[in-house]
Each structure stands twice: as structure tokens, then as C-alpha cells.
Amino acid sequence: MKTVSKAVYVVIIVVSSTLVLCAQQDPMVFGHAMGLSRITTSPGEKEIPLRWYNVNTEPDTWSVRHDILMCTGQPIGVMRSEKQFENFMLHIEWMHLEAGGNSGIFVWSTAKPGEENRLPDGIEVQMLELDWVNLHKQNGETPPIAYVHGELFGVGGVKTIPDNPRGERSKSIENLCKGKGEWNTYDVVCVDGVVKLSVNGKFVNGLSKATQRKGYICFESEGAPIHFRNLKIVELPPGSTAQ
């Protein structure tokens, strides 16, 4: 029988302790979820607090203060919901703090970061600050404002059919977004591979036939500070193709 040195045992103990500590990290609580019955047949049903787990950012990247989720934007990465969602409605308010700030949310994601860009797959709901187009001119030309205003697109191999094509992405048909220091409201409806986006009270974008239709919701940290508030998720009945 081969013997194992004390040094190896120490390494094993240290690694095991580290894994236990990671597993015991407290999740962050932000927003609430509810079933459709709370709205339709059981108005007294309680809302369930949502728990979020850091995937590949720093411990201080995310914090909650006075019911506002604050993201520093550094490093690039995401945090994910505790559970996966299939069909649902999501309400969120967000505000950039810097000109040209970049962020977003992912729906129907595996929450597995990519090797190159540190971001996961799924459907991205874009949240770029309006000055992004002015700060990222290409060949002297300013990108269309529709690019920053709530674009929807599949990432990480997820394919979709855009309602308003800009290549493989779907662009908003109207600019209703507000700039830095002002709150914006997104209402996102996700049902059976279809995603519809309302910005500040009006539906302006959508896509369909997503090849991935269930997964985690992820908040994105992408280089600039952003605040979120008033997150509500209403879970809807599963689709006919649900397993």
C-alpha cells in the first residue's frame, strides 16, 4: 500500500475546507417571486423572496441597500437566481450611473461563464446607457440608438428569430429609454421560446423560437456601476413541451 505524506493530507484538508466555505456562502436576497394564482385565484398568497448566487464576480461586486441591488461593474461576470425559470413575467427597474454604462440580464441561461468573455449563454436583454453609441463610434459612424435601447439576442449558441432584425439581434422599434441617473422600467415576458420587452410602459421589442427555453436568470456586471430595484417575477404555467 502506498503511503500518503502529511503534506498531501494538509493540501486535501485545505482544499476541502475551501469547498465547504464556498458552499456555505450566504446567498443574496433581492426581489420577490409569486405564482400566477396569487394574481388570479389566491390574492392572499405570500410572495417568496428571491435568492441569488455569485457566479464569477467578486464578493463586493454586488450589494443590497435599502432594497436596491447595486453592482460595481467590476469584474465582468454574473450572479444567478437560486432556481431555474421556464415561463414567467419579470419586472425590473434599473439606472446607470455612468455615461455609456453597459449591463443587462440573461434569461433561460445555464449560468456557465464563457471562457473568453466570462458571460453565460441564454437570451440577453440589453441595458446600455444612451451615450454608449457616442463613446463607441465605428469608422467615424455612430451606432443606431436602437442598439442600446433594449436589444434582445441569443448568446452562447442560443438561436432565436428576431421580431425586428438587426442581423441576428432584435432591435427596439422606438426609443423610450432614459439616460444615466434616471430609472428605467423593463417588463419582460418569456413564454415557450418567445420573449417580449416593454420599456417604460410600452412594448417595443421581441423575439421567438428560442432554442433554449428554461434556465437561470442572471444579472450582468459589465464594466460600469448600475443599480436595480423593484424586482418582481410571476411564474406562469409550463409549456406543453416541458419535461
pTM across the whole model: 0.86
pLDDT above 60: residue 174? yes
Structural domain containing residue 187: 28-235
pLDDT above 70: residue 15? no
pLDDT for res 241: 59
- Does residue 16 belong to any structural domain of this protein? no
Q: What is the pLDDT of residues 56-84, one digit of tens each?
A: 999 999 999 999 999 999 999 999 999 99
Q: Please tell me which residue, 18 or 65, carries the higher pLDDT value.
A: 65
In this structure, of 41-45, 59-63, 121-125, the range with the lowest mean pLDDT score is: 41-45
- Does residue 141 belong to any structural domain of this protein? yes
- Does residue 19 belong to any structural domain of this protein? no
List the CATH number of the domain containing 193: 2.60.120.560
Q: Please, are residues 202 and 174 in contact by the beta-carbon 8 Å criterion?
A: yes
pLDDT for res 151: 96
How many domains is the chain built from?
1
pLDDT above 50: residue 10? no
pLDDT above 90: residue 38? no
C-alpha cell at 234: 410571476
pLDDT for res 128: 94
- Which positions ≥6 away from 184 have C-beta within 8 Å? 93, 94, 95, 127, 177, 178, 199, 200
